[in-house]
Structure 1
Amino acid sequence: MDKHRNLDCKDIEAITALLSKDGEALNYYKTNGAESVGHAFMIANLLHLHANVSEASLFYRHAFNLHGKSQTEYPLPQSLLQVSLLCLLKAGQPVPEEEIKELEKYAPSYANYIRGILIAWRGGDVKEAMSLIGNAFEGFHSGEEIDALYLEIALKYFPALTAPITDTSYSPIPRHLYMYWDKNPPKEIADNIKYHQELLGEDFTFFNQENAEEWLFEHFGSETLSLFQNTKHPAESADFLRLHVILNNGGWWLDADLRLKSLEQWEMLSRLPKNCRFFITEKFLIHNDFFGTVANDPILANALLTCYVNMLKHHGLYIPYKTGPGVFSRAVSRTVYSSFNHDAPLPSLAIGTAWEMFSIVEEFEVTYKSGGNWHTA
């Protein structure tokens, strides 16, 4: 391996220089050093978070070098080496084949994931990239970056998913909008609920914690109600409810901090000839704050399945990964993979851009997000 990919913990001056443009990472290093897997990993994460990906790659590699290589020591060695190589790709630097082969010894699917991203990002064949990546995302928690990177590539292979919709026949998605706020909505949220009640009338249903519990018990039973009551945060409760409501009833979900721009925009949604309509962020994550599907849509059913697995097996997972956009992104990854792998037709799915989404709905200023911890338990 290239000697420049190895960090010397004794060379404090060199490490300090390496971290000089990231004050948070440098302060962490000065306090804790980088001589354990955990500390090296934390420094790498800070660098990665702040888009210092070349330096992050070195610290992930350093954490890997310190690792005992046991499959019971977390983070796992293959996770450290995988993200180190991914950061090299993000930095536009050469990715040593010897390190990919090293990764292959621990996790062949991770190695092929890196090979696939390398091909896709360096102008290679998209079909080959997708073949190599396969369903490697199954080795990661829902919500991790692999789903977004896979979708970015898949949309190049399946451009019909994001193609402009020219057919304006009647939409099979029920013309009904749902929204949730647990209790005591602040004035701006209460005003938004009233706005939609007046705009849509009987085509709008608002849930609070009390009637959401009643609805879940009636339609899904006591076990589902218990899971809802044991959610750790109102954001997780909203995530859990939206999946059940739309899967059972069909229709559209809109978060309480978004609003329809006009009745005309709502009418446009009734002329969308698809069973499932999602929107993506600029970073290829699936929005779960605004979407619509028919009842019993298989993509949404898969998202709900992942939600249940996460709640039962990965209770402490970050909420957006556990029950939020991450489960939607994972469901879309599985859907696209199935069509690609079996050379089968795509399902009735349309994926819109963030620009398209915000031509229909809009954000407004809310106070509850000002604390910065509104989606963490």
Structure 2
Amino acid sequence: MRLPRHDQANSQAEPAAANNSHRLPPSAADAYLPGFEENDSLRSDFIRQLTLRQLLGSRTTSIWDEAHPTEPIPRTLVQFWHDPHDVPPDVRSCLDSWGSLRTEGFAFRMFDDESAGAYIAERYSSRHLSAFGRCRHPAMRSDYLRLCFVHAEGGLYVDADDVLMSDGWKYIFRDHTLKVQALAYDISAGGMVPPSELRRTELPIRDRIFYVNNNPIAAPAGHPVLRRALARATDRLLGGEPAPDIQSTTGPGNLTAALAGHARELQMEDAHSDFELLLDWERTAEPQWDLGYRNDARNWRNMDL
């Protein structure tokens, strides 16, 4: 998983102070004005409020279910490794852990740099292909490909370094809503907040960054959050910045901004949600942190920024 970029100097508001009130996302004019999702602190606070709303509210039929009753999430597993001729054995072991899904009717789609570029050229515009060409690291190309594929065809994307642990994946396919993992980073502690803590409605929010991961991503084709995330990433990649930041351009920061903006629009329309935040995905799949590639340039955190 990737840690979010949090630039206090660019924030227009500090994280809200901790309290014990179970605040729900507001439905009237407030701090969450159009464009708020580009503000680090407001976006983080809003994502936390979405989590609380999900924890405290009863689940209802989504507008996606109502509008697309015959379009479930396809049983397609999407993965990416940039060089098909050089897949390290430890990464291959992670990939192979998902093999049991073949007996569950899954189709497997494995992409690399070349096949991802070919797919985008076939399914999208030259503008999208140019954006993909500006992805300067395999992690960015993986980020961009997953948005393109799941938006175009639907399915479940998981990272190449994730190991399947249980059959919790079945929950993903029980309805037609977008599923993404909720996460939080504790600035003062310098580490991730344990997933179980996110279920605490009294969890303080000061000095914590709440966001959603872009692994896993599960959705039916054409989901508006993915359309929005893909458009945002494309605009940023083609915006002229010589070395766009990975996390905020194509990674979790990008998906979080897209989800926040979309969710706020649904609130203003008093519409039901068409997405769900996963709070226990780690029981289904677990990232492996001791893989060899994490010590070299193939790890995006080690690249020369």
* TM > 0.5 fold call: yes
Asked whether the equivalents of residues 277 and 292 of structure 1 are also in contact (C-alpha less than 8 Å), the reply is yes
What residue number does 1:317 align with? Answer: 244
Asked whether the equivalents of residues 339 and 345 of structure 1 are also in contact (C-alpha less than 8 Å), the reply is yes
Once residues 124 and 256 of structure 1 are traced to their aligned partners in structure 2, the CA distance between those partners, rounded to angstroms, is 37
What residue number does 1:112 align with? Answer: none
Aligned with 1:235 (options 109, 118, 139): 139
Q: Structure 2 vs 1, CA of residues 367 and 164 (structure 1 numbering), >3 Å: closer, same or farther?
A: farther
Asked whether the equivalents of residues 171 and 275 of structure 1 are also in contact (C-alpha less than 8 Å), the reply is no
Say whether residues 1:357 and 2:272 are aligned partners.
no
Q: Structure 2 vs 1, CA of residues 341 and 266 (structure 1 numbering), >3 Å: closer, same or farther?
A: closer
Richer in strand (by share): 2
Bigger CA drift: 288-297 or 171-180? 171-180
Once residues 159 and 132 of structure 1 are traced to their aligned partners in structure 2, the CA distance between those partners, rounded to angstroms, is 21
Written as runs of structure 1 = structure 2, the 5 A alignment for 1:330-349 is 330-342=257-269, 344-349=270-275
Query: Percent of counterpart pairs with the same letter?
Result: 21
- How far has the Cα of 1:205 moved from its partner? 1.3
Once residues 357 and 148 of structure 1 are traced to their aligned partners in structure 2, the CA distance between those partners, rounded to angstroms, is 20
Once residues 147 and 219 of structure 1 are traced to their aligned partners in structure 2, the CA distance between those partners, rounded to angstroms, is 31
Say whether residues 1:147 and 2:147 are aligned partners.
no
What residue number does 2:168 align with? Answer: 265
Say whether residues 1:187 and 2:114 are aligned partners.
no
What residue number does 2:102 align with? Answer: 200
- Higher Cα radius of gyration: 1
Q: Structure 2 vs 1, CA of residues 269 and 136 (structure 1 numbering), >3 Å: closer, same or farther?
A: closer
Once residues 57 and 295 of structure 2 are traced to their aligned partners in structure 1, the CA distance between those partners, rounded to angstroms, is 33
Q: Structure 2 vs 1, CA of residues 218 and 126 (structure 1 numbering), >3 Å: closer, same or farther?
A: closer
Asked whether the equivalents of residues 265 and 360 of structure 1 are also in contact (C-alpha less than 8 Å), the reply is yes
Any gaps of 5 or more consecutive residues in structure 2? 1-5, 62-68, 186-209
Written as runs of structure 1 = structure 2, the 5 A alignment for 1:79-90 is 79=10, 82=12, 86=14
Paired residue total: 260
Any gaps of 5 or more consecutive residues in structure 1? 1-47, 50-59, 61-74, 91-116
User: The residue matched to 2:261 in structure 1 has which SS?
Assistant: helix
User: The residue matched to 1:345 in structure 2 has which SS?
Assistant: coil
Q: TM-score, normalised by structure 2?
A: 0.73
Written as runs of structure 1 = structure 2, the 5 A alignment for 1:53-72 is none
- How far has the Cα of 1:127 moved from its partner? 5.6
After superposition, give the CA deviation of every residue in 1:244-290 in whole Å (9 maximum; x if it has no partner).
Answer: 0000010000010112224x3334433x2132111101342111021
- How far has the Cα of 1:178 moved from its partner? 0.3
User: The residue matched to 1:368 in structure 2 has which SS?
Assistant: helix
What residue number does 1:304 align with? Answer: 230
Once residues 258 and 332 of structure 1 are traced to their aligned partners in structure 2, the CA distance between those partners, rounded to angstroms, is 23
After superposition, give the CA deviation of every residue in 1:130-173 in whole Å (9 maximum; x if it has no partner).
Answer: 742122654736xx3431221112443x336986799xx99811
User: The residue matched to 1:280 in structure 2 has which SS?
Assistant: strand
Aligned with 1:368 (options 288, 293, 297): 293
User: The residue matched to 2:97 in structure 1 has which SS?
Assistant: helix
Q: TM-score, normalised by structure 1?
A: 0.60
Aligned CA RMSD, in angstroms, stands at 3.4
Greater relative CO, 1 or 2 (CA 8 Å, sep 6+): 2
- How far has the Cα of 1:226 moved from its partner? 2.8
Asked whether the equivalents of residues 162 and 352 of structure 1 are also in contact (C-alpha less than 8 Å), the reply is no
| One-letter identity of the residue aligned with 1:340 | Q
